[in-house]
C-alpha cells in the first residue's frame, strides 16, 4: 500500500478489489461489494476496527456487474445502509440487462456466475447517483459519471485527497493499464469521452477496482501511459 491516504481498506476478491473507507470515527463506507469471499473479509475488517454492520453508512456501487454488485443484497440486509448507484445500473444488479452484440457474452458469464456462485440477488438502488453529486462520506466524494463500460458506470472523486476511485474505467496490472475487454463493455462508444473526462479531472491519485498493488500514483501513471498509447495509435504516420 503506497501513495494513498490513510483510511482505505482493500477487500480483495477473486476478480477485483472492493474498498472500505474509514472515517470520520465510527463510520465506514463500502465501494462495491464483490463476488465471492468478500462478505467474510468485510465483517473481519470492520471487527478489526471495532466496528459492526451499523457503522457502515452507505454502499456505493461503481456499476452493477456481478463482480462489483454480487453481494449487494447481502450488504444491504446486513448493514441496513442505503445502496447508491446510477439508475441505469439497476438492470445489471437484477441480472435483467438486455446485453446485445459481443457484450452478450458478459450476460452469459453473469448468468453462469449467478447459478454457480449463488450471488447476485437483486436489490433495489435506494439513492440514484448523477454526475456531480456530492456525497457526504469520507470527507466528501463527488460522483463522476464515466459511462462506457456500462451506461451508468460512475467513479468517486475525493477532492480532499485528489483521488479518483475509477471503477472499471481501466484495469491496472503488471506495468500497464488496459481497458476492460470488449465483451464486458455495453456502451463502448462512450468510453473515449469518459477517458477524456478523467484526464481533465486530472486526479493526482487513481484507484481502479481491478489492480495488482494499491498505489495511487502508479495507477495514475499507468492511466497516462494508456492514454498516450491510444493517442499514438490515432496519430497519422509521419510523412518523410
d(C-alpha 57, C-alpha 180), whole Å: 30
CB of 154 to Zn ion, least distance (A): 12
Q: Which of 32, 38, 168, 215 binds Zn ion (CB under 5 A)?
A: 168
Select 22 or 97, whichever has its Cβ closest to Zn ion. Answer: 97
Is residue 32 a contact point for Zn ion (CB under 5 A)? no
CB 149 to Zn ion: min, Å: 5
- Cβ of 68: how many Cβ atoms within 10 Å? 30
Q: How far is the CB of 49 from Zn ion (least distance, A)?
A: 26
**In the range 206-225, which residues lie near Zn ion by CB under 5 A?**
none
Contacts with Zn ion: how many residues (CB under 5 A)?
4
Neighbours of 235 (CB within 10 A): 7
| Alpha helices (H) along 95-169 | 104-117
CB 92 to Zn ion: min, Å: 9
Report the nearest approach of Zn ion to the CB of residue 210 (Å).
6
Subset of residues 51 to 90 that bind Zn ion, contact rule: CB under 5 A: 65, 67
* Closest chain position to Zn ion (CB): 65
φ, ψ (nearest 5 deg) of residue 8? -115, 125
| Integer Cα distance of 136 and 176 in angstroms | 33
Q: Which stretch binds Zn ion (CB under 5 A): 13-21, 81-89, 103-111, 225-233?
A: 13-21
For residue 52, the minimal CB distance to Zn ion (Å) is 28
| SS3 of the chain: helix, strand, coil, percent, to 5 | 35, 25, 40
Q: Is 107 helix (H, G, I), strand (E, B) or coil?
A: helix
Backbone angles phi, psi at 235, to 5 degrees: -70, 135
Place of cell 490513510: 6
Q: If we measure between CA atoms, which residue out of 133, 127, 148, 167 comes closest to residue 31?
A: 167
The piece of 83-91, 119-127, 163-171, 217-225 that touches Zn ion (CB under 5 A) is 163-171
Q: Residue 64 or 203: which CB sits closer to Zn ion? A: 64
Question: In the complex, which residues of this chain contact Zn ion (CB under 5 A)?
Answer: 16, 65, 67, 168
Amino acid at each position: 500500500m503506497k501513495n494513498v491516504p490513510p483510511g482505505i481498506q482493500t477487500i480483495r476478491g477473486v476478480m477485483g478489489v472492493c474498498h472500505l473507507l474509514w472515517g470520520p470515527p465510527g463510520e465506514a463506507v463500502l465501494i462495491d461489494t464483490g463476488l465471492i469471499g468478500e462478505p467474510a473479509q468485510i465483517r473481519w475488517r470492520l471487527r478489526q476496527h471495532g466496528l459492526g454492520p451499523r457503522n457502515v453508512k452507505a454502499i456505493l456501487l461503481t456499476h452493477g456487474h456481478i463482480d462489483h454488485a454480487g453481494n449487494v443484497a447481502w450488504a444491504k440486509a446486513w448493514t441496513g445502509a442505503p445502496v447508491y448507484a446510477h439508475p441505469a445500473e439497476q438492470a445489471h444488479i437484477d441480472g435483467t440487462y438486455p446485453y446485445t452484440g459481443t457484450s452478450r457474452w458478459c450476460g452469459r458469464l453473469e448468468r453462469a456466475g449467478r447459478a454457480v456462485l449463488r450471488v447476485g440477488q437483486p436489490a433495489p438502488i435506494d439513492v440514484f447517483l448523477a454526475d456531480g453529486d456530492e456525497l457526504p462520506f469520507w470527507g466528501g466524494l463527488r460522483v463522476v459519471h464515466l459511462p462506457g463500460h456500462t451506461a451508468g458506470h460512475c467513479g468517486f472523486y475525493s477532492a480532499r485527497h485528489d483521488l479518483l476511485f475509477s471503477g472499471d474505467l481501466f484495469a491496472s496490472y503488471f506495468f500497464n493499464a488496459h481497458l476492460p475487454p470488449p465483451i464486458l463493455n455495453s456502451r463502448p462508444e462512450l468510453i473515449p469521452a469518459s477517458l477524456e473526462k478523467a484526464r481533465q479531472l486530472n486526479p493526482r491519485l487513481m484507484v481502479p477496482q481491478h489492480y495488482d498493488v494499491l498505489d495511487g500514483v502508479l495507477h495514475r501513471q499507468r492511466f497516462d501511459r494508456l492514454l498516450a498509447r491510444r493517442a499514438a495509435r490515432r496519430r497519422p504516420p509521419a510523412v518523410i
